[in-house]
Amino acid sequence: MKALQCVELGLPDKLKVNEIADPELLPGHVLIENKAASVNFPDVLMIQGLYQFQPELPFTPGGESAGEVLAIGDDVKDIQVGDRVFAMTGLGAFAEKIVVHENTVMKIPDTMDFETAAALPMTYGTSLYALKQRAELKEGETLLVLGAAGGVGLATVELGKAMGARVIAAASTQDKIDLCIAHGADEGFIYESGKLDKNQQKELSSKIKELTGGMGANVVYDPIGDNYSEPCIRATAWDGRYLVIGFAAGEIPKIPINLALLKGMKIVGVFWGAWVGMHPDENRNNFEELFKLHSEGKINPEVSDSFSLNDGALAIAHLMDRKAKGKVIIKI
């Protein structure tokens, strides 16, 4: 079968499309013919050797896919040949076929196409867990989303709105803000896209306070980190929750911990993948909720660009170059 492979660590142009052996079916596992896979920021980090866990070379990146089940191993209980599914693969999705444990697979609704299904698991899974289980977002609260037109960002905009929050989207360009408004954000603002100096950090805090009547945001969703984080924490409301999602802007920030004391606020870590391993049933319930929200038209995963498997390296570069809006898909 054909697979996009990382044979040496580096930028996407080092990736190769190779013919490799079909994966072997194991007990408890299913063989899926992938129809679409989606790109996530961890793929960008993993091919460069910068992610928190690192597979041995050569490896096939790709954390999620959707397709049809071709075969099932012994002891598989809930999945049948021919089922339309998505899979939370972690690795290996940028290939024609994949073998994964049935626990990481979910049947998708008949009305959901493969591109949408491939775009859903990691971003909406992370964001629903973050807003519901971690932040306990309440109706009427203000939710600030940074990197709001990115994968997890746009999912959060939609979910925040569906949960009855007032959503403020923050991103680097006006067309990204426009997309967030089209997906339900109540308002938005542009932040500086380079390293923020002290004045720009103060301006970021002031802007958030201005948009929240001086109170600050009740919940901040931060997938970008670096020196965007502290100004946002300074503009978090009393009793607020600041969600640590990721560090797409580069550095892992160091935060003066007295800010949490002064604001009676919580700095809340979100590690969706680890939680899924510990609470698979709750995660499945979350996905049932996401399918329902999708069928009601309350969430609509945005796929801004799609690439063929042969051009898979370009798909990863597109995300890395900050050009993606919503999700980037590889059609297989």
Ligand X SMILES: NC(=O)c1ccc[n+]([C@@H]2O[C@H](COP(=O)([O-])OP(=O)(O)OC[C@H]3O[C@@H](n4cnc5c(N)ncnc54)[C@H](OP(=O)(O)O)[C@@H]3O)[C@@H](O)[C@H]2O)c1
Binding site for ligand X (CB under 6 A): 40-42, 122-123, 126, 147, 149-153, 171-172, 176, 193, 223-224, 245-250, 270-273, 319, 322, 324
Q: How is 115-139 classified by DSSP, letter by letter?
A: HHHHHSHHHHHHHHIIIIIIS---T
Please report how close the Cβ of residue 263 comes to ligand X at its closest, in angstroms: 22
Q: How is 174-227 classified by DSSP, letter by letter?
A: HHHHHHHHHTT-SEEEE--SS---HHHHHHHHHHHHHHTTTS-EEEEEESS-GG
**Closer by beta carbon to ligand X, 108 or else 319:** 319
CA distances 227 to 148, 196, 211, 249, 250, Å, are 17, 6, 20, 8, 9
Distance between CA atoms of 83 and 67, rounded to whole angstroms? 8
**Closer by beta carbon to ligand X, 232 or else 270:** 270
Please report how close the Cβ of residue 85 comes to ligand X at its closest, in angstroms: 20
Please report how close the Cβ of residue 164 comes to ligand X at its closest, in angstroms: 23
**Closer by beta carbon to ligand X, 23 or else 191:** 191
**Closer by beta carbon to ligand X, 63 or else 240:** 63
204 C-beta neighbours (distance < 10 Å), count: 23
Tokens representing 13?
């142009």
Tokens representing 112?
């959901």
Please report how close the Cβ of residue 103 comes to ligand X at its closest, in angstroms: 18
Helices (H), 57-173: 114-119, 121-128, 151-162
User: How far apart are the two ends of the chain, measured CA to CA in Å?
Assistant: 11
Q: What is the DSSP letter of 331?
A: E
Closest CA to 270 of 134, 122, 125: 134
Please report how close the Cβ of residue 38 comes to ligand X at its closest, in angstroms: 9
Please report how close the Cβ of residue 214 comes to ligand X at its closest, in angstroms: 25
Please report how close the Cβ of residue 30 comes to ligand X at its closest, in angstroms: 24
Distance between CA atoms of 289 and 283, rounded to whole angstroms? 10
**Closer by beta carbon to ligand X, 152 or else 219:** 152
**Closer by beta carbon to ligand X, 41 or else 287:** 41
Distance between CA atoms of 326 and 319, rounded to whole angstroms? 10
**Closer by beta carbon to ligand X, 116 or else 172:** 172
Please report how close the Cβ of residue 146 comes to ligand X at its closest, in angstroms: 7
Tokens representing 124?
């909406």
**Closer by beta carbon to ligand X, 164 or else 250:** 250
